[in-house]
Each structure stands twice: as structure tokens, then as C-alpha cells.
A and B are shown apart, each in its own frame.
Chain A
Amino acid sequence: DAGVIQSPRHEVTEMGQEVTLRCKPISGHDYLFWYRQTMMRGLELLIYFNNNVPIDDSGMPEDRFSAKMPNASFSTLKIQPSEPRDSAVYFCASSLDQTGVETQYFGPGTRLLVL
């Protein structure tokens, strides 16, 4: 398996533009997680899905952020409109289950810079 795939790897955009980040989880994994990594807050959970259904989106910072998972092999995280404070590394991760001991497998991340 190729692991968790994310695209793009880098994104530079201007304030006010729409940004869409994409993720393909590992095949067979029922859980998908979106995280954001910043210097100030570390790695924080934004939202996670179970079998394509959003379970907990309490970490989504604002209404400007939205996430979808139309099928088991694809998810998007959208920011509209983007702001400079959204600059961060966004990780997608997937796991077989969420028992608490299950390993989460991370993608390479998308480095977002909003000017």
C-alpha cells in the first residue's frame, strides 16, 4: 500500500482565496483524521470521520473550514476564504479503528502558506 496520500504537498495562496486540501487514506481504514500543525498549538485534531461520516468536528476553528468525505478513498479539507493565520502544515491520517491503541498512519502533510 502506498500509505496515506495528500495533495498538494505545498500550497501558497493569497488571503481571501479558496484552498482545497486532499487526502486518500489507506485502503481498508475506516477512520480518517485531519490535523493541523502550528508552532503555537502543536498538532491539533480538526475533524475525524468514521466510514465517511463526520464524527467530531469540534476542532474545526471557524466556519471558513469545512471537510467532506464523499467516499471511503477520498477526503477534502477546504478553507474559504483563507487568512494568513491559516498558514500551517495540515496532516491527514487514517486508522483501522479508534480503540485508543490503534496506530494512526499519517500522510506527508500539506504545507500551506497564506500571504
Chain B
Amino acid sequence: ILNVEQSPQSLHVQEGDSTNFTCSFPSSNFYALHWYRWETAKSPEALFVMTLNGDEKKKGRISATLNTKEGYSYLYIKGSQPEDSATYLCAFSGSARQLTFGSGTQLTVLP
């Protein structure tokens, strides 16, 4: 069983604050790391997919980094807005090419 862990489990921040959370995954047999954003009552939507150690991806105020040697990825949100409130899921893809999801970080941005 692959162990993909996310921390913290939940997070409350004030509007305008910057925040970050972590995804830990097996450092062996790494193929790709996906980040998804899941708003309540909606479908999870893909944010990024990263494959190379040192990869950095950015979409607006959201960015992500990848360290495959130590098995972690960070997701950063700069200047959080209430519309950023969602659960952020990471998913590890290894040699089997299937996605193993973490349990998510639930972000609430307070106005």
C-alpha cells in the first residue's frame, strides 16, 4: 500500500494571508505528482502535474514545488482569497501509473 500523506488536515487563514501545505509520498518508483483542487459539491479539478525533481509550477497565485529525492511537494497560495477555500488533494503516480491520493488539506479562507 502506497503511503501518500498530506498535512495539515485542515487550515483556516485570513484573507490576504499566504499559506502552504505539504504532500509526502514514496521517493522510490516515482513517476509523477498531481495536485487537484476540490470545492465542496463540485468535481476535483486538476491544478498541476509535476514529473521532475525541482519542478516548479505556477497558476495565478498558486504554485507548487517538487522534491522527488526526499518525497515531498509543497503547494503555496499567495494572498489567499475566500474563493480559494477548497480541499487540495495530491496524488502520487508510481511505476503502476495509477494515482494514489492523499487525504487532502481542507483550506478555509476567512474574509
What is A's interface to B at a CB cutoff of 8 Å? 3-4, 35, 42-45, 48, 56, 91, 98-101, 103-109
Contact = CB atoms under 8 A, between A and B. Distances in A.
A43 B31 CA distance: 20
Q: Closest 4 interchain pairs by CB?
A: A42-B103, A100-B93, A100-B97, A43-B101
A43 B99 CA distance: 10
A53 B37 CA distance: 29
B59 interface: no
A98 B42 contact: no
B77 interface: no
A43 B89 contact: yes
A42 B104 contact: yes
A101 B93 contact: yes
Contacts of A48: 98
Q: Which of A98, A99, A103, A109 has the most CB of B within 10 A?
A: A103
B39 to A, nearest CB: 11
Interface stretch (B10-18, B43-51, B63-71): B43-51
Given A100-B31, A101-B51, A45 B98 contact: yes
